[in-house]
Every structure is written in C-alpha cells, then in structure tokens.
Amino acid sequence: DAMVIQNPRYQVTQFGKPVTLSCSQTLNHNVMYWYQQKSSQAPKLLFHYYDKDFNNEADTPDNFQSRRPNTSFCFLDIRSPGLGDAAMYLCATSREGGGAGNQPQHFGDGTRLSIL
Amino acid sequence: GNSVTQMEGPVTLSEEAFLTINCTYTATGYPSLFWYVQYPGEGLQLLLKATKADDKGSNKGFEATYRKETTSFHLEKGSVQVSDSAVYFCALSDRDGGYNKLIFGAGTRLAVHP
C-alpha cells in the first residue's frame, strides 16, 4: 500500500544533542510537510517542501532544519534539542497542482521525541 | 486570517449514541474542509472532506456537510462504537502562496463507553 513512513516511532535524545527524524513516502507526492504536535494540541506546521523548494513558517525556530534529498525522503534535523522540543513530530504529503484546496494531506504515524 | 473553531471536549458517549462535533470556520474565498481522526499514538487519518458548498463528505458512518451560509462543517454519526474513541480535528485548506496550508481546529477528544 502506498503510504507515509516515519522512523523511528520513538526517539530519545539528550539535551543539546543533535537528532534527525526521517520520513519516506511511496505516494510520489510533490509536497512534504513537517508538523510538531504537543500533547492535547493541534499539529503546528514547521515547514514544507514543494518539490525542492523549502518553505519555512515564520515562527519556526532556527534550531529546526530540514533536508529533502529526493522525492521520496525528507528529514527533520533538530540541532540542539531543548526540553521544550519534546513532542510528536508528524510528516505529511500531498499532491499539488490538481486544483486549489481539494488535495488532502496524508500523514505518517509520527515520531515521539523525548529529551533527557 | 482564516481559522477553525471546534467544540471543546472531551465528549463522552455510550455506545450506539448519536454523535455531533461542531466545527465552524472563518475564511476568505472557498476553502476545502476536512475532518481528520487521530487514534492514540498514531498520526492523523483523513476521515472525510468536502470541497464546495453543500457537499456532503461521508466515510465509515461519519458525515459532514459544507454549509457556507452558517460557515459550518459539523461532524455526525448516528451510532458510535467504542472503536471510534479518538481525537477529531476539523481543518480547512488555505491557499497560501503556491500551496495548500491546513488550518486545524484545536481537536475534540471523543470517549465512547460500552
């Protein structure tokens, strides 16, 4: 089945130690998104790639970076994680170009990040 | 700016009860509307969508109608099951530059008891 896969499901890192989360997709979608979701809150968009074009949300901290080496893979890098970065990180994909506003986003199961 | 407002949870129901989760939106233009469901420990799954006024989205017994006159997209199900226990997010698709940005409501937790 075509899907969005996130690895690992659970990640533990130390305060200040860089960490990378990964996302892959078999949907061949041209847009990939990264969201941060804290407990009992809605997902918050961090940034997205439209093909190779990177688009950062205005309030995303500089501590968060992303890479998209090809259509299928996208990475979230947290350079110096703080305690406040503990959250669920969700990757999503969508296909753009089929008409304004009618393309749903498809989500992975997320990576839950803990900071020691 | 565009926004989505959902009824606060948690919503607690007995099995086979009728469910309504209210959702209203503020938007310029004609956004698409979505309901996503999140089961414990999982990502969001698209439950249903509607792309224009008076469209009814439906899936797994859930349905919602895009009401432009009341700017609403309420989620309903006639008979809930324990397995429907989850968090439900209403969202609209906001055309921001060259891509569609999802604007989420705060989410409504549903707990269904046997």
pLDDT at B8: 86
Tokens of A112: 């839950």
**CA A48 centroid distance within chain:** 8
**Overall average pLDDT of the B11-37 stretch:** 94
Tokens of A79: 């350079």
**H, E, C per residue of B77-94:** ECCCCHHHCEEEEEEEEE
Choose between B62 and B40: higher pLDDT.
B62
Interface of B with A in 59-98 (CB under 8 A): 89, 93-95, 97-98
Q: Three-class SS string for chain A? A: CCCEEEECCEEEECCCCCEEEEEEECCCCCEEEEEEECCCCCCEEEEEEECCEEEECCCCCCCEEEECCCCCEEEEEECCCCHHHCEEEEEEEECCCCCCCCCCCEECCCEEEEEC
Q: For all residues of chain B together, what is the average pLDDT?
A: 92
DSSP code for B16: T
Do residues B28 and B114 lie in contact, with contact meaning Cβ atoms separated by under 8 Å?
A: no
Q: B83 φ, ψ to 5°?
A: -70, -10
Our CA-based measurement puts residue B15 at a distance from the nearest CA of chain A, in whole angstroms, of 24
pLDDT at B41: 85
Q: Do B107 and A41 touch (CB under 8 A)?
A: yes
For chain A, 116 residues long, give each residue's pLDDT as a single digit of tens: 669 999 999 999 999 999 999 999 999 999 999 999 998 899 999 999 999 999 999 999 999 999 999 999 999 999 999 999 999 999 999 987 655 456 789 999 999 999 99
Contact B99 A40 (CB under 8 A): no
Q: What tens digit of pLDDT does each residue of B73-105 get?
A: 999 999 999 999 999 999 998 776 666 788 999
- In chain B, what residues touch A112 (CB-CB under 8 Å)? 41
